């Protein structure tokens, strides 16, 4: 179970600490450090609530007032992102499906692994932005490769902690994408000291 938790947390932290900063650095005028300092209150709230939906009002306020995203972009991109941009959830679901299959002694060939990745990506789009909703859509992923959905019971005990971390990844992704859209549309208004 420890290896499973480590794999999920490592993947989420890697994605949040490497992929998103790279996107900010290459696609926006922001310095990575300043961007994440502005985003920290939203990440903390997301971590404590485990819900990108509950965090959405604060996310929009910080995006507009602190990061400088226009209201036009913020009011469209952030609610849409909170609904369908669940990259942390997709990563978690793929790892959870493989872990459950391994614990149950089931071998997954390359086609089954590809099915898990595709189904996890699609299921994450349909996942509600409430705590532990990803566990519900995990049933679909497991059934798509013939893994008994009863195996979900194996991960219930640690799901809340992992949900907190994946919510931070989801929220960070929402704001990063909104910032990139705002920058590309000339709708990003930031203070001079924050530019690269």
Contact 93, 141 (CB under 8 A): yes
CA 69/CA 63 separation, integer angstroms:
6
Q: Where residue 149 falls among pLDDT bands split at 50, 70, 90?
A: confident
pLDDT score for 196: 46
Tens-digit pLDDT profile for residues 105-124: 998 899 999 999 999 888 88
Count CA atoms within 13 Å of residue 181 on its CB side.
Answer: 19
Contact 158, 99 (CB under 8 A): no
> Does residue 85 surpass a pLDDT of 90?
no
* DSSP string computed for the chain: -HHHHHHHHHHHHHIIIIIHHHHHHHHSSB-HHHHHHHHHHHHHHHHHH--HHHHHHHHHHHIIIII-B-HHHHHHHHHHHHHH--HHHHHHHHHHHHHHHHHTT----HHHHHHHHHHHHHHHHT--SSTTHHHHHHHHHHHHTT--GGGGGGTHHHHHHHHHHHHHHHHHHHHHHHHHHHHHTT-B---GGGB-
pLDDT score for 37: 95
pLDDT score for 195: 47
Q: Where residue 193 falls among pLDDT bands split at 50, 70, 90?
A: low
- CATH code for the domain in which residue 114 is found: 1.10.3860.10
pLDDT score for 40: 95
* Residue 3 belongs to domain spanning: 1-196
Which residues does 114 contact at the CB level (< 8 Å), separation at least 6?
none
In this prediction the pTM is 0.86
> Does residue 44 surpass a pLDDT of 60?
yes
Backbone angles phi, psi at 154, to 5 degrees: -65, -30
pLDDT score for 126: 75
12-to-50, 119, 133 alpha-carbon distances in Å: 14, 18, 17
pLDDT score for 191: 67
Nearest alpha carbon to residue 128 among 37, 29, 56, 35: 56
pLDDT exceeding 90 applies to what percent of the chain? 62
CA 25/CA 35 separation, integer angstroms:
10
> Does residue 41 surpass a pLDDT of 80?
yes
- Number of domain units in the chain: 1
pLDDT score for 192: 58
């Amino acid at each position: 179970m420890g290896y499973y938790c480590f794999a999920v947390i490592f993947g989420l932290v890697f994605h949040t600490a490497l992929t998103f900063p790279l996107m900010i650095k290459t696609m926006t005028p922001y310095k990575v450090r300043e961007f994440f300092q502005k985003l920290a209150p939203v990440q903390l709230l997301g971590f404590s609530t485990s819900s990108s939906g509950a965090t959405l009002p604060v996310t929009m306020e910080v995006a507009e007032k602190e990061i400088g995203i226009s209201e036009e972009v913020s009011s469209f991109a952030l609610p849409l992102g909170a609904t369908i941009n669940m990259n942390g959830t997709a990563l978690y679901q793929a790892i959870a499906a493989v872990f459950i299959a391994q614990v149950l002694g089931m071998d997954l060939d390359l086609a089954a692994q590809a099915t898990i990745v595709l189904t996890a990506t699609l299921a994450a789009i349909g996942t509600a932005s409430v705590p532990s909703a990803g566990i519900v859509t995990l049933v679909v992923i497991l059934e798509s490769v013939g893994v008994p959905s009863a195996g979900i019971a194996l991960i219930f005990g640690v799901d809340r902690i992992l949900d907190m971390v994946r919510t931070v990844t989801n929220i960070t992704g929402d704001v990063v994408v909104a910032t990139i859209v705002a920058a590309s549309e000339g709708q990003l208004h930031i203070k001079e000291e924050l530019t690269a």
